[in-house]
Structure 1
């Protein structure tokens, strides 16, 4: 007599064991260990780069700010808070912060213009793809090239004077010759260059809003202003908050455009240009490090105040 054994499917056996209340066996210790270590293994490379190229240099900068190091000599001496005292007591070192006011005003104009164009081009407008490309194009151009282009644009008898002459306004004004006109011109160049980036951020945020909300609002009799006020603005609040933070920090740390076009002359020296000159022109790396730490603290303070005044709360539009 032969006996045959039926093979029970694994799923059936598992169901049977589950039905009788058998608890699943715990994973082996080696498996549990790998589950814990796997996320950290993926984070190992980015954390190493972040610590090496961000936090370690910041720590060195803070350490140098309490010394008189000249950036070349292997010897440095501890001076305490002398560098910070010099920054806040010497008017010529701290007054460059007022130049950032031009860029702060320019950032407000930039955000308003970017939000306006993003709102208009998010609806059905003729040639809207063409205008999107035109607005974003300056963000693709290298900052050094932009600086040289506008350096010739604002020179005496240059492109700007030629354009004004076409409208009957002839002037021999040196646009980069006085502090007010020079800073205004440089701030205008910053608006032209960074408008496209903010425009793209706003446009992406607006297009992520469900289209059903616009249709429902139109049925309720809402016009474009109502849609902007009650749908678009609340819907893009996180992106708008981020843009304001980036614009403020960028205004306080403006460097590329003014450094290339004027080198900080004619009253256009910004905080970063001054810091670079202290470190590499006057060999006062310790004082320059203190200035960089002060700028970092100002940006962090402004960001903290802005986050406290305008908390990043998610808005349910439905």
Structure 2
């Protein structure tokens, strides 16, 4: 097809195609929808009508002044707390499985396996685990002698429902984070640990002064993913609780979906989405500012 072109022109054409095609896809499926989302956030569009009346900042005022909208962010806190514990556990298992442990490949597989499961399937699975009367968790607690705990309604108690849901994310994503940390650990030269051993450093000192500084950037990345993941939780409460009981497990993304598809207020839902996007950008910027220069 390009037989009439010189080798140099063929190379330029190939490079141009490799740059242009991804850029067009990015503009079409990322930047354009984002700009359209921002435009709709200033309208009262109901998702059906062709009329999209401009209403200024009214939607954003509604987001920040209505506690039923902005207040649901407090339900996301549990996912952030559990996410931090998840990262600590992932680092621990990564360090253990990076050493000379018999059968470590099997343990790596078992810990990573939950991540490849479908999110909805995992939610339905834990629906049976958390069942108050016939659930395996309450049955196990009863067999261990914890009679009071064995009667707990894990998804029906407003004070613990978010932690119950966040624990599912802990089980599902901890292995994935462990693999990321494990890859970072394997990039650290063994000579550093050998030199530290010669100098008389113990295991804890090696972890503090060698391991942590060398995986700092990965910790920073996973911390950002943990925070954004906590802000964007949707599938678990949507499948298991539908935001209940009494809205106790309703997350901000779930509120956005409800506003758009149940109440047909796409303008307000767009404003909520823009607010969420801004929060993610602000959190990333603050994190980069606070952690800049560390781990170098």
Tell me which stretches of 4 or more aligned residues in structure 1 moved more than 6 Å.
30-37
The 3-state SS of whatever aligns with 2:249 is coil
The answer on whether the counterparts of 1:237 and 1:312 sit within 8 Å (CA) in structure 2 is: no
The 3-state SS of whatever aligns with 2:220 is helix
Deviations 1:238-268 (A, max 9, x none): 1111111111000011111111111111210
The answer on whether the counterparts of 1:238 and 1:312 sit within 8 Å (CA) in structure 2 is: no
The answer on whether the counterparts of 1:122 and 1:206 sit within 8 Å (CA) in structure 2 is: yes
Once the two structures are overlaid, the 10-residue window that deviates more, 63-72 or 209-218, is 209-218
Match of 1:273 in 2: 254
Match among 126, 143, 147 for residue 119 of structure 2: 143
Displacement of 1:273 in angstroms is 0.1
- Determine if the alignment matches structure 1 residue 213 to structure 2 residue 192: yes
State how far apart, in whole Å, the 2-side matches of 1:312 and 1:51 are: 33
TM-score (norm 1): 0.86
Match of 1:130 in 2: 106
State how far apart, in whole Å, the 2-side matches of 1:312 and 1:164 are: 47
Structure 2: 5+ residue stretches without partners: 1-5
- Determine if the alignment matches structure 1 residue 200 to structure 2 residue 176: no
Match of 1:261 in 2: 240
Match of 1:296 in 2: 277
State how far apart, in whole Å, the 2-side matches of 1:79 and 1:201 are: 46
Deviations 1:65-89 (A, max 9, x none): 0000011112111111100011111
Kindly tell me: are residues 314 and 173 of structure 1, through their superposed partners in 2, closer, same or farther at Cα, counting changes over 3 Å? closer
The answer on whether the counterparts of 2:44 and 2:266 sit within 8 Å (CA) in structure 1 is: yes
Match of 2:164 in 1: 185
Match among 249, 273, 281 for residue 228 of structure 2: 249
State how far apart, in whole Å, the 1-side matches of 2:30 and 2:40 are: 16
Deviations 1:79-105 (A, max 9, x none): 111000111111111110001110110
For these two proteins, the number of residue pairs brought into alignment is 286
Match among 101, 115, 136 for residue 159 of structure 1: 136
The answer on whether the counterparts of 2:75 and 2:162 sit within 8 Å (CA) in structure 1 is: yes
TM-score (norm 2): 0.92
Structure showing greater Rg: 1
Match of 1:47 in 2: 23
The answer on whether the counterparts of 1:64 and 1:286 sit within 8 Å (CA) in structure 2 is: yes
State how far apart, in whole Å, the 1-side matches of 2:273 and 2:82 are: 23
Q: How does 1:65-80 map to 2 (within 5 A)?
A: 65-80=41-56
State how far apart, in whole Å, the 1-side matches of 2:141 and 2:157 are: 19
State how far apart, in whole Å, the 1-side matches of 2:289 and 2:16 are: 32
Deviations 1:180-216 (A, max 9, x none): 1211100111111111111111000000111111111
The answer on whether the counterparts of 1:241 and 1:312 sit within 8 Å (CA) in structure 2 is: no
Match of 1:285 in 2: 266
Once the two structures are overlaid, the 10-residue window that deviates more, 45-54 or 194-203, is 45-54
Match of 1:89 in 2: 65
Structure 1: 5+ residue stretches without partners: 1-29
